[in-house]
Structure 1
């Protein structure tokens, strides 16, 4: 089962905006897909989003889907919600999934990555003031560093494959997150795609670069994912 948390800056995105991407990912991996949403920042602040993801993961386990048969994934803000949820799941002594996929992950809510500057002329949308504003909307009164998976204790996280575009503002988020996971003893792979921008995998079926990224994901995850189907309900 692919358990996927959509992106959208905590102000948008839905199970409908990302269903095509998840369909491509799940099909390539040879499994079913479950898209997970969460409260937007307009209605709830951190850590409501991460707790919602933990609760959705707990529900999936209760349906009979074993942890070793689950790969979790997310893009952009969805990665921050996903790994926040996994950290809450660890606190709740829930078993970790077989593997995790991060696409253009936003995991540093302090916006301290150098790529906000070095890729400023390449990434038209993810300018630092814009992302600072999105972070302020969802953080409420919570400290940005405390809320960021990048700075958390990542010990016990599942094997993680990170994909990121060379030209996106979140490049450093992903590179530093990969380094932090490795430092915590987590099996980690990161692929930086030349000249690509944020969540280019959304173009699967239309762009060869996106199809290549999904093929790489499938090749990485299949050996790690037990091919089990949860019982019908």
Structure 2
């Protein structure tokens, strides 16, 4: 049963999203909207003693997130969500750092290119480029975890599919938080949960899906990985909430992975909304979800 805190926080989120998506906000340019999201995220608190190191990967702004006395030979490559159009290292730094703390390893968080300025396949190209950079730095593929939320979860899968098809070494596992992996919006939760989802709305999701695809079919396997052959991909760990329109995306992904012989673990969190893990210490469900991710990563890497 969801906590009382989650009940009230969901109500606050619904009111906040309505205000943010008011007429004035929708009339603003995409850069202004991105800046407002970055500013809102600045209120989130990083884990105590966090170390943030900013640097460039071939011109791509990126950050190392770590804590003192953690292992440096393992890494989580975290790809942020935001519908392929929004968010950045600034909006997702706290979430990624929290996952790294729970797993006891450092996190690499890159600012990949965004649509509509850079539609498909730009984000995938950037994700693959960052992974190659990690290998060039001496990291073993077996010590790298892909993780991402929403569009970032889909991006993790698309990058892994490209690597598989190129016969390159794959990461040890893929962690998906509320993954956006069916850009055709075909799942039943797009109807079932459209009134209860406090964050996402179906029209908005379809709009950014079209802009990201850039003329390609929405059922392209690298745009909507639920339509891909997932054979040979590494183990997957999936979390999704029962109050989000993307619930069907996550469930169908798990079904497709199982059919392809990929080890997969999925948990549907009752009463939770899209990427509730970003609530951090504010919410007991967020703390537990992040702890479960950390435990999965530790098991995977035999830490």
TM bucket (normalised to shorter chain) is over 0.9
Runs of 4+ in 1 over 4 A off after TM superposition: none
Give distance in 2, aligned partners of 1:19 and 1:41: 20
Deviation at 1:226, TM superposition (A): 5.3
**When the two structures are superposed, what TM-score results if normalisation uses the length of structure 1?**
0.94
1:55-134 matches, cutoff 5 A: 55-134=129-208
Match of 2:271 among 190, 195, 218: 195
Q: Structure 2: where are the runs of 5+ without partners?
A: 1-74
CA distance in 2, matches of 1:83, 1:52: 13
Structure 1 or 2, whichever has the larger Rg, is 2
1:176 and 2:252 are equivalent in the alignment: yes
Q: Any conservation in 1 of the 2:175–2:236 contact (CA below 8 Å)?
A: yes
Distance of 2:127 and 2:265 partners within structure 1: 23
2:9 matched residue in structure 1: none
Query: For the residues of structure 2 that align with 1:85 and 1:118, how far apart are their CA atoms?
Result: 30
How far 1:200 moved relative to its partner?
0.2
Distance in 2 (CA, whole Å) between partners of 1:108 and 1:157 is: 18
**2:292 matched to 1:216?**
yes
Deviation digits for residues 90-146 of structure 1 (CA, Å, limit 9, x no counterpart): 122221111110000000111101101100110133221111101011111111101
Report deviation, 1:208: 0.6
In the TM superposition, what whole-angstrom CA distance separates every residue of 1:53-97 from its partner, at most 9, and x where no partner exists?
111111111110101111110000111212111111112222111
> Do 1:5 and 1:81's aligned partners in 2 also have CA atoms closer than 8 Å?
yes
Q: In structure 1, what is the Cα distance between the partners aligned to 2:284 and 2:99?
A: 14
Aligned equivalent of 2:97, options 23, 39, 43: 23
What is the TM-score with the length of structure 2 in the denominator? 0.73
What runs of 5+ residues in structure 1 fail to find an aligned partner? 228-233
2:112 matches 1:45: no
Deviation at 1:36, TM superposition (A): 2.3
> Which structure has more strand as a fraction of its residues?
2
Question: Looking at both structures, which has the greater relative contact order when contacts are Cα pairs under 8 Å and sequence separation is at least 6?
Answer: 1
Aligned with residue 136 of structure 1, among 204, 210, 215: 210
**35-44 or 176-185: bigger deviation:** 35-44
Aligned to 1:167: 243
How big is the shift at 1:181? Answer: 0.6
User: Is the Cα contact below 8 Å between 1:58 and 1:94 reproduced in 2?
Assistant: no
- CA spacing shift, 1:226–1:96, aligned 2, 3 Å: farther
Equivalent residue pairs, number: 227
Q: What root-mean-square deviation, in Å, do the aligned CA atoms of Structure 1 and Structure 2 show?
A: 1.1
Paired residue for 1:207? Answer: 283
SS of 1:204 mapped into structure 2: helix
